[in-house]
Amino acid sequence: MSSYIDLKFINDLSGRLSQFKKKTDYLFNFRCPHCGDSQKSKTKARAYLYRVKNDMFFKCHNCGQGQNLANFIKFVDPKLYESYLLERYKKSAPATPKPEFDFKPTKFKDQTPIDDLKSIKDLPEDHPARLYCDNRKIPEKCFDKLFLSDKFMTLVNEVKPNTYKVIKDHPRLIIPFYDTTGKVFAFQGRAFGKEQPKYLTIKLDENKQKVYGLDKVNFQQPIYITEGPIDSLFIDNCLAAGGADLFLKNKIPNENITYIFDNEPRNKEIVKRMYKVIEQNFNVVIWPEDLQLKDVNDMILSGLTKLQLQDIISNNTYSKLSALTKLNYWKKTKEV
């Protein structure tokens, strides 16, 4: 698989290399981008990419420069290098089967499943997992509470034995769920690539709601609730909850809670949940119809600042009758 990935990125790079020619399946010739190759003859090309065992290497017979393919790509195209690292890192991970929770939860005392994992903060700046977080514009202050698991399915089986009968490991971003005392009671694994399902949440304490962010919110202040943990990182005093855990068990006045759903007017499940929170007299954000971005993270990636995002949220928060009226119109603003 690594050979296929190498050839794919060599092809992507070929347009940047002068007089690029494919000699054989794993031998390529071109003018050296390091030294510029021969100054006397513009037709001489003495740089090569070649394979040794399963890896590709670069060598120039004019200046003597030699390096592996990764460092060569980094020199020629730093942005392509980031994509190359991530592709090589995740490889071709298979779709992840949904866990079968047909066992009693493992009891934890002081040990947590993230004790042996490296935080994103502690990874090198060019590590694929850190680059992923940077590219999603996740605030760096959150990196110490985000982790990397190289072997996600093994990790799950360690904390909840026999979840996966067949182990086909791949890396995932680990997002721990802490309670108000700072204890981990669940964690979510977010896929780096096209693995399915994209999000998998593992509960360590079945008696607790699957709510993210309990360790950092001030329950005396207005609280926002998004659908996903990553979205919640861009909004102050924000939790993430969904599904059966949509409504908090904490005794907080409903008018102090504002739900922020994804901007998907044609998604029947989202619209159904919005009606539910309105019926319970919660506040709800109903996005303006000219905003075409899917969720909070997409809005940040589009260039909106945190302050601009907060203004949009504040100006589009509704409750009770006004919320019903707005929702009835909003859900029809796009063709069904």
pLDDT, tens digit (0-9, with 9 covering 90-100), for 47-56: 999 888 788 8
Provide the pLDDT for residue 193. 83
Residue 289 scores a pLDDT above 80: yes
Helix spans in 96-180 (H): 128-135, 152-159
Burial (0-12, 13-18, 19+ Cβ within 10 Å), 48 = middle
- Give residue-wise pLDDT tens across range 2-46: 678 888 889 899 988 999 999 888 899 999 999 888 787 888 888
- Give residue-wise pLDDT tens across range 143-200: 999 999 999 999 999 888 888 888 888 999 999 999 999 999 999 999 998 888 899 9
What's the whole-number mean pLDDT along residues 198-208?
Answer: 90
* Cα distance between residue 16 and residue 19, in whole Å: 10
Q: 8 — phi, psi (to 5°)?
A: -60, -45
Q: Residue 115: which H helix or E strand, with range?
A: none
Q: Which of 96, 100, 95 is nearest to 160 (CA)?
A: 100
* Cα distance between residue 133 and residue 179, in whole Å: 23
* Cα distance between residue 306 and residue 236, in whole Å: 9
Q: In what order do the strands lie in the sheet with 21-24?
A: 21-24, 27-30, 47-52, 55-60, 66-68
| pTM attached to this predicted model | 0.67
Provide the pLDDT for residue 99. 56
- Give residue-wise pLDDT tens across range 225-260: 999 999 999 999 999 996 667 888 877 889 999 999
Helix spans in 19-91 (H): 69-76, 78-90
- Give residue-wise pLDDT tens across range 207-223: 999 999 999 999 999 99
Provide the pLDDT for residue 267. 92
Residue 31 neighbours by CB under 8 Å, 6+ apart: 17, 18, 19, 37, 44, 45, 46, 47
pLDDT tier at 63, thresholds 50, 70, 90: confident
Q: Are 186 and 229 in contact (CB under 8 A)?
A: no
Is residue 84 classed as helix, strand or coil in its secondary structure?
helix
Residue 103 scores a pLDDT above 60: no
* Cα distance between residue 59 and residue 277, in whole Å: 63
* Cα distance between residue 277 and residue 324, in whole Å: 10
Burial (0-12, 13-18, 19+ Cβ within 10 Å), 134 = middle
What's the whole-number mean pLDDT along residues 253-276?
Answer: 94
Provide the pLDDT for residue 98. 55
Q: In what order do the strands lie in the sheet with 118-119?
A: 118-119, 147-149, 172-178, 184-191, 199-203
203, β-bridge pairs: 186
Q: Which of 297, 296, 286, 325 is nearest to 137 (CA)?
A: 297
Residue 62 scores a pLDDT above 70: yes
Provide the pLDDT for residue 233. 97
What sign does the CA torsion over 45, 51, 55, 60 have? negative
Provide the mean pLDDT of the chain.
88
Q: Are 67 and 109 in contact (CB under 8 A)?
A: no
Is residue 81 classed as helix, strand or coil in its secondary structure?
helix
pLDDT tier at 115, thresholds 50, 70, 90: confident
